[in-house]
Structure 1
Amino acid sequence: MIFKQLYFILLITILTTCTKFGENIYVKGKVVNPATGKGIPNVEIALQKKTTFEFSTGYKAVERVTTDANGDFEIRHLGGLKQYYLNCMYSSSYYPLGWTVNGTFSDSYITKIKKGKKNEVTFEMVPYGKLNFTIKNIDCNGGFDTLIRHINYSLNDYSAIAFPSIYTGCVDFPFSSSVELPMGNWYFKWEVIKLGIKTIYYDTIFIEENQLSTVEFFY
């Protein structure tokens, strides 16, 4: 009985060990556009814990805060034994890049939070711009001419690679509508194969927020 009482006291002590003002979860964070370095206001951040239902596992919000005019936020909470997470409830007008928690980056909109220590976090997301393509084979040798287009996106610690697009023959392809893409650096690699000879070209473009950019490739 004595051992059970000691275990219960120890458990309560662990659960109530605080980092600040009686809470054992303390998060100081910022939501930022890494392309500009500016904070993003009015973004909802949820502190969630994992819950188990009869047939599934989900997340339940225990605290909700909104970023201030500088994109900053702070969360204090007394947590139990469950694992806790931060979830950025970003709007569809932004593209999420991911969380940096205590110096470690993860390309996810949800991340684990440690209890019993101060968590310094940053969530990065960027708005969208638009891009128009014009692709034309100006020296066509016939149906065996081939163009392979590779596109990579990169901004700070985040990167993404799109599937290659392949065009064959006498291509004359002005896009009738623009493509919506996240703000940041876009890298293009063009592989041109004509008469069995491969030539590679490279190009880089920076997509601006709410701006229309154009890429023209003539080969």
Structure 2
Amino acid sequence: MRLFLILVLALVSCTKFGKNVTVKGRVMNPVTGQGIEGAEVKLLRVKGGYDSNYKTIKSVVTDASGNFELDKYTWASPVARCETGDFYRLGWTKDGGQTFIDNFELEVKKGKVTNADFYAIPYGNLQININNTSCFDSNDELKIYRTHSIPGFYDDVPNPAIYLGCVNQTGNMNKAPMGWYKYSGTVTKNGIVTPKKDSIYLNEGETKVWNINY
């Protein structure tokens, strides 16, 4: 009788707390709209309440179109995480809602299907040089507003960028996410203001030097 009660309680506990977790979607490059093959999507549970103690309970690798589907019966309340390797990790969209920038981890609920798309962008290499090629005096000014194919890419840096005087600035060759880099603004010399704009497209794995001369 005692053994029977233990088995019944165990069955009730499993029914109450253990449920399927399903996560499906796509890992893609939002610049091109193409899927990213070979990215790993994991279901993780927390051990002890610290991020460093996450334990993988199941993982899959995306197919040639970037699609994935994870299904796992679990008692835990897990999170889903995407590992893309050396990509600019942009964020994710859950169930067609808001895109969360710079976060590749989301909570998923037991007993429900979560539709999630992860966005990542491959890198190229870009060097930007700023040169006042016909300097008038120290009051010369270049004021430019910068944008990228990624919305909000320049949110964490001064924008517009302002360069004063006889600028001759050689930038470093830096790893940069692929896509369009654009600027528009004005050049002021001897009190005369003229508009200025330009753009450059950086492909995956490409190395480019962008000279902004004014």
Q: How high is the TM-score relative to the length of structure 2?
A: 0.77
- 5+ residue gaps, structure 2, are 1-7
User: Alignment partner of 1:52: what SS?
Assistant: coil
The residue aligned with 1:206 is 201
* Structure 1 counterpart of 2:85, one-letter code: S
Shift of 1:149: 4.2
Report the AA paired with residue 140 of structure 2: D
Asked if structure 2 preserves the Cα contact closer than 8 Å seen for 1:150 and 1:163, the reply is: no
In structure 2, what is the equivalent of residue 112 of structure 1?
107
RMSD between aligned alpha carbons?
2.9
For the residues of structure 2 that align with 1:57 and 1:137, how far apart are their CA atoms? Answer: 49
Question: After superposition, where does 1:78-97 map in structure 2 within 5 Å?
Answer: 78-80=73-75, 82-92=76-86, 94-97=87-90
Deviation, structure 1 residue 195: 4.4
Residue 137 of structure 2 is aligned to residue 142 of structure 1: yes
Structure 1: tracts of 5 or more residues without a match: 1-5, 18-23
Asked if residue 46 in structure 1 is aligned to residue 39 in structure 2, the reply is: no
**Residue 169 of structure 2 corresponds to residue 169 of structure 1:** no
Q: Any idea what the Cα deviations from partners look like across 1:18-50, whole Å, max 9, x if unmatched?
A: xxxxxx201122211222222222211111123
Distance of 1:75 and 1:189 partners within structure 2: 45
Q: What is aligned with 2:128?
A: 133
Moved more, 82-91 or 143-152: 143-152
Aligned residues: 201
- Residue 3 (structure 2) aligns with: none
Residue equivalent to 1:180: 175
1:94-141, Cα deviation, whole Å (9 max, x unpaired): 111111211022121111112212112211111112323332223322
Is residue 122 of structure 1 aligned with residue 117 of structure 2?
yes
